[in-house]
Amino acid sequence: MKFEILAERSSDDRKTFIYDNITNTLSEKDNEYVFEYQRIEPHNLKVATVFDKNTPLKKSKKVTLLKIQLGLSCNYTCDYCSQKFVERPTETSKKDIDALITLLDNLEFDEEKGLKIEFWGGEPLVYWKTLKPLAEDIKEKFSHWRDGPKLSIITNGSILTKEMAMWLYYMGFSVAISHDGPGQSVRGPDPFEDPKQKKIILDFYKIMKKSGRISFNTMMNSKNTSRKAVRDWFVELTEDEDVALGEGGIVDAYDDDGITNSLQTLKEHFDYRRQSFNDIFSTNGQINNYMILEKIDSFSRSVLSHTNSLYLPQKCGMDMEDTLAIDMRGNIITCQNVSAVETAMNGESHLVGHISDIESAEVKSATHWSNRKECSSCPVLHLCKGACMFLDKKFWDISCANAYSDNVALFALSFERITDGYIPVTIKGEGLPLERQDIWGTVYQHKEPDRKKIIPIKVVAEKIATIDDVEVYGKSRVERVE
């Protein structure tokens, strides 16, 4: 679809551009000048697989990224957690390791292509007595490789010990510590408020930073909107001007708590867009978030090389046939944030199949972006990449709105760089809502839509078990407040 973009360097220096989100080309309207590299190399890209519940996504035995879901238990209950309301399967233990290692023989791995293995929770360190022997057995399984699989985890850091830290370091793990900086109160308790835990985490950070194997991962939400503020908070914490930050996108609304932490009003959307743009533009990119900065760079490259939407994968990468998420029983699941006993929003099971019979595995729980009308007619498609592929109904609508405001600011930053200084003001396209056409909310008059009456609810999360001496929460439930 083609969009007409009005952009300006100053109030008396304006130009109109045409952007096609399918061919991914940008041109000047008046003289049809096309922005591109002087020489466009042939693309060695794979056409993206289109899928939905009626035409399921298949998975391959040939795996390059394996995500192992250790379990969903966590010692935190974050407000916007994607797993909060997911049905919990029966817990596994280290007794299941031998069977899983044997099941991995049903998959095919290629040393030349490489292999990444991610260990997921809940909180993965809750499963320390399973994680440690499992990772060691996996490392032994691939000991004949010159370079073994790349291992990684994401942890909230609250139960990290010196023993765990040293093991992660010597095993070669890459580690991301989930923490929202100045917005941590939404996520949960702050491990840095405990002097002992703070020292363990910061000592670990200093050791891991030398090899580039650690980052602090932050999510943006309606109560945590400034990437510059996040960067400044972590610089002060670590006394490291080059502190490594990851993640950095805005939350998806997986449930009603996720909606509460989403951008609610048009004013919040416009304020967030301006904040996002200015945080990066005014600091010349000094936000220390390599994932966000690479996202801008990648989009710029894709526009200049005209990378067609035919090759565009989903944001999460779980649409790739060589990317597999499994639990400790060898069940194949939609992604690491769900369980084999959970039903997706479209009514299909998140249980995709089993690695003992991977040829029969079918992902019916998700929808490719090309099967969503909002995506094909969206100017930020190549940045958003379809948001979460299994969201639906109101949760999809809210997440789509969040993603648009998050990505249109990055679109504008890339656009300014490509066009040598022109900042988009409006994007006009057929069917595009007025609040999405007016990027910064400065051109048109906008009336806040009537908000639906909110029925008060109370989200209850209870500690229901102890795993390896750590108290963990069960599946949350909603209670209506009379």
**Please, what are the domains in the chain?**
57-367 (3.20.20.70)
Quick: pLDDT tens for 330-386: 999 999 999 999 999 999 999 999 999 999 999 999 999 999 989 999 999 999 999
Q: How far apart are CA 156 and CA 30, in angstroms?
A: 52
Which residue from 16, 38, 13 is spatially nearest to 27, judged by alpha carbons? Answer: 16
What is the arithmetic mean of pLDDT over 227-254? 96
Q: How far apart are CA 404 and CA 433, in angstroms?
A: 11
Q: Give the H/E segment covering residue 458.
A: strand 457-460
Which residue from 396, 183, 395 is spatially nearest to 386, judged by alpha carbons? Answer: 396
Q: How far apart are CA 274 and CA 272, in angstroms?
A: 6
Q: How far apart are CA 45 and CA 40, in angstroms?
A: 14
The torsion angles phi and psi of 419, rounded to 5 degrees, stand at -95, 10
What is the arithmetic mean of pLDDT over 429-456? 88
Find the angle CA(283)-CA(289)-CA(290) to the nearest 5 degrees: 115
Q: Tell me if 169 sits within 8 A of 131, measured CB to CB.
A: no
What sign results for the dihedral spanned by CA atoms 144, 318, 269, 35? positive
> Residue 38: pLDDT above 90?
no
Amino acid at 255: D
Quick: pLDDT tens for 290-308: 999 999 999 999 999 999 9
The torsion angles phi and psi of 34, rounded to 5 degrees, stand at -105, 130
What share of the chain in percent tops pLDDT 70?
A: 97
pLDDT value for 43: 66
Give the 3-state secondary structure of residue 365: coil
Residue 455: pLDDT band with limits 50, 70, 90: low
Residue 80: pLDDT band with limits 50, 70, 90: confident
Residues 6+ apart with CB under 8 A from 173: 135, 151, 152, 153, 213
> Residue 409: pLDDT above 80?
yes
pLDDT value for 315: 94
What is the arithmetic mean of pLDDT over 128-134? 97
Residue 470: pLDDT band with limits 50, 70, 90: confident
- Structure-derived torsion over alpha carbons of residues 357, 147, 93, 332, reported in degrees to the nearest 10: -30
DSSP state of 453: P
Task: Count other Cβ atoms within 10 Å, centred on residue 193.
Answer: 9
- Count of H-run helices and E-run strands, the chain: 13, 19
The torsion angles phi and psi of 475, rounded to 5 degrees, stand at -60, 135
pLDDT value for 32: 82
> Residue 454: pLDDT above 60?
no
> Residue 41: pLDDT above 70?
no
Residues 6+ apart with CB under 8 A from 252: 82, 258, 387, 388, 391, 395, 399, 402, 403
Q: How far apart are CA 50 and CA 369, in angstroms?
A: 8
3-state per-residue secondary structure call for 167-190: HHHHCCCEEEEECCHHHHHHHCCC
Q: Tell me if 277 sits within 8 A of 287, measured CB to CB.
A: no
Residues 6+ apart with CB under 8 A from 363: 51, 56, 57, 58, 59, 334, 352
pTM passes above 0.85: yes
Residue 31: pLDDT band with limits 50, 70, 90: confident
pLDDT value for 42: 60
The torsion angles phi and psi of 151, rounded to 5 degrees, stand at -105, 145
- At which residue do the structure tokens 């992604």 appear? 335
Residues 6+ apart with CB under 8 A from 112: none
Give the 3-state secondary structure of residue 352: strand
Mean pLDDT computed over every residue of the chain? 94
Q: Is the peptide bond before 122 cis (omega within 30 degrees of 0)?
A: yes
Q: Tell me how far CA of residue 350 lies from CA of 148, 342, 354, in angstroms.
A: 30, 6, 12
Q: Tell me if 366 sits within 8 A of 344, measured CB to CB.
A: yes
Residues 6+ apart with CB under 8 A from 410: 276, 292, 295, 296, 299, 380, 383
Task: Count other Cβ atoms within 10 Å, centred on residue 163.
Answer: 10
Could you give the angle at which helices 266-281 and 227-238 cross, rounded to 10 degrees? 50
> Residue 200: pLDDT above 90?
yes
pLDDT value for 481: 59
Q: What is the DSSP string of 442-469?
A: -SS--PPPPPPPPPPEEEE--EEEEETT
> Residue 257: pLDDT above 90?
no
> Residue 39: pLDDT above 60?
yes
> Residue 281 CA to chain centroid, in angstroms?
23
pLDDT value for 456: 59
Q: Tell me if 173 sits within 8 A of 64, measured CB to CB.
A: no
DSSP state of 49: P
DSSP state of 421: S
